[in-house]
Structure 1
Amino acid sequence: MKTVLFIPARYASTRYPGKPLAMLRQPDGSVKSLIQMSWEAACTIRGVDAVYVATDDDRIAEAAQAFGAEVVMTSDACENGTARCADALTRLEATPELVLNLQGDAPLTPPWFVEALIEAMQADPSVGMATPVLRCDRQTYENFVEDRQNGRVGGTTAVFDQHMNALYFSKEVLPYIDPGKLPDPIPVFHHVGVYGYRPEALAAYVASPVCQLEQLEGLEQLRFLHNGTPVRCVEVDARGRLFWELNNPQDVARIEAALGGVS
């Protein structure tokens, strides 16, 4: 296999326990779990040879197998999705050239977001890790600001240099913009919950200790930056679709509303 995609999923969550099994109403009135929606989204991505749900929880594993997903059971010591992908990788019979991490709380991720990431990494073999970023439209930016004003963690923002290499990721809205001077287009980029890694980059990640910034922000990609590993940001286009992760129970309504416009 050249490219595998893992959907890391854990049951325990401080902000939203049991999040992968949260049920969301579909446009036809039926309901599906968050993990099933994420798996179905992953299965539409071109260029992926295999899709696995990676979890340490029997409830998630049983639910995933019930809707037809292949499951890789991982250690319960994995501290985040990247570490879970690294653990899952060691349990495959063959090592792929590229490993993708589609976080299980982002069922609205369009397939072309991930396809752009695959293409970027295939075009530049020197890139050890990459992640998509999406310029915020006004609605998404206002959602970010509203969440922070109300003490909620919304999406993650990314700041990068002229070569598209990440400078920083944060759960704060970066860069700061004076509310009275909001430019158009808005220079705030939403970090999409997808990562691409070379296997050696994953191995180096789990071999290094947690850094303070990663611990404070709760963002695993900051360990790569702390260790001096470049993270390539790949700008993607939403093509008119709303992208939002399920970070808090309040996000269920946002995602269900967005589903009405997803084809």
Structure 2
Amino acid sequence: MSVLIVIPARFASVRYPGKPLVALRGADGTSRSLIERSWRAARDVTGVDAVVVATDDARIADHCKGFGARVVMTSSTCRNGTERCAEAHATLGGGYDIVVNLQGDAPLTPHWFVEDLIKGLIADPDAAIATPVLRCDGAALNGFLADRKAGRVGGTTAVFDAQGRGLYFSKEVIPFTDRKYGNSEETPVFHHVGVYAYRPGALAEYGAWSVGPLESLEGLEQLRFLEQNHVVRCVEVASQGRQFWELNNPSDVEILERMMSEMGLN
């Protein structure tokens, strides 16, 4: 099966304008932009035929071309990364069996997350889309709860059925639990990792669907598939000792740099 990875990137982020161009220092002190680190993560994934950055911003496009990335220019009217991926795939002429949306704010995404995701979509022929989920330990859950208490969104959580098919995704911490967990304890909460693998047919239809109330309230693009009664396959992935974090707020820069230092990532 042919696989395309698209990294959607926009300059006008509501919470963090210019986020793709923010510099992150690696363990050796080397500074690389968020989008370059995400592109490097995409290139580590095996079994991929092409990697492109999809953007509507000339500053991001010029920067990406400078470090060797292939860029596809997309419309400023794209409402989210999924719509941008759909436009990029169409602009390239289509033809890929699977399109992966590797969001440009998760530079620590391990290659096996994406590889397992692709396998999960292939294994569920009824699924229009697949996305990874990572079981939180107590430290991760406590971090999410602290963020919400402080009025920040630290990540998205997911709940799914016994077959791994998504029931709901939220920026709140779900399911509710009032138990206190130790840092290394396993919890019932799953962190939704912001990567998606789509079947091209469902991806092409996505932009024509109306934005439903759940997507509008949560600001989560994958909810449009659920609201249109499409199967979203949640693929549980293993951290294998790897720390994971997304850059959603300026305060996340320090967290990511600390993690890269601890893991020896340059």
The Cα offsets for residues 36-59 of structure 1, whole Å up to 9 and x where unpaired, read as: 000000000001110000000000
CA displacement, residues 141-167 of structure 1 (integer Å, 9 cap, x when unaligned): 111011100000110000000010000
Q: Distance in 1 between the 2:250 and 2:180 partners?
A: 31
Aligned residue for 2:207, secondary structure, equals: helix
Aligned equivalents of 2:158 and 2:6: distance in 1? 23
Partner of 2:165: 165
State the partner residue of 1:190.
Answer: 191
Q: Percent identity?
A: 59
Separation in 1, partners of 2:29, 2:140:
26
- Residues 56, 73 of structure 2: 8 Å contact kept: yes
Counterpart for residue 103 of structure 1: 103
Q: CA deviation at 1:260?
A: 1.4
Deviation at 1:120, TM superposition (A): 1.5
Tell me how far apart the structure 2 counterparts of residues 94 and 109 of structure 1 sit (CA, whole Å): 25
Aligned to 1:251: 252
* Paired AA for residue 132 in structure 1: P
- Shift of residue 121, structure 1, vs aligned partner: 1.8
Residue in 1 that maps onto 2:69 = 69
Matches within 5 A, 1:50-199: 50-180=50-180, 184-199=185-200
Q: In the alignment, which residue of structure 2 is the partner of 1:45?
A: 45
Question: Is residue 237 from structure 1 mapped to residue 238 from structure 2 by the alignment?
Answer: yes
The 3-state SS of whatever aligns with 1:177 is coil
* 1:159-182 per-position Cα deviation (integer Å, ceiling 9, x unaligned): 000010000000000011114478
The TM-score normalised by the length of structure 1 is: 0.97
Q: What SS does the aligned partner of 1:231 have?
A: strand
Structure 1 unaligned runs (5+)? Answer: none
Structure 2 spans left out of the alignment, 5+ residues: none
Mean Cα displacement is larger for which, 172-181 or 20-29? 172-181
CA–CA distance in structure 1, aligned partners of residues 205 and 131 of structure 2: 17
Inter-partner Cα distance in structure 2 for 1:65 and 1:83:
22
Q: Secondary structure at the match of 2:258?
A: helix
Deviates more, 1:240-249 or 1:181-190: 181-190
When structure 1 is superposed on structure 2, of 62-71 and 116-125 the one drifting more is 116-125
CA distance in 2, matches of 1:123, 1:179: 35
* Alpha-carbon separation, structure 2, partners of 1:60 and 1:137: 35
The letter of the residue matching 1:236 is V
Q: Distance in 2 between matches of 1:7 and 1:130?
A: 16
Measured in 2, the distance between the counterparts of 1:93 and 1:212 equals: 32
Give me the CA root mean square deviation. Answer: 1.4
Q: 2: distance between equivalents of 1:10 and 1:181?
A: 37
Decide whether aligned partners of structure 1 residues 136 and 180 sit closer, same or farther in structure 2, where only a CA change above 3 A counts.
closer
Indicate yes or no: 2:7 matched with 1:7: yes
Report if aligned partners of 1:47, 1:118 keep a CA contact under 8 Å in 2: no
Distance 2:40 2:121 in 1: 23
Read off the aligned partner of 1:38 and give its amino acid letter.
S
Distance in 1 (alpha carbons) for counterparts of 2:167 and 2:111: 26
TM-score by length of 2: 0.96
Q: CA deviation at 1:192?
A: 0.4
Tell me the distance in 2 between the aligned counterparts of 1:44 and 1:60.
21
**Paired position in structure 2 for 1:219:** 220
Give CA deviations for 1:170-205 in whole Å, capped at 9, x if unaligned.
000001111447894200000001000001011221
Q: Which amino acid aligns with 1:81?
A: G
Bigger shift: 216-225 or 114-123?
Answer: 114-123
Tell me how far 1:126 sits from its aligned partner: 2.9
Could you report, residue by residue, the CA deviation over 1:27-82 in whole angstroms, capped at 9, with x for unpaired residues? 11110000000000000000111000000000000000000000000000000000
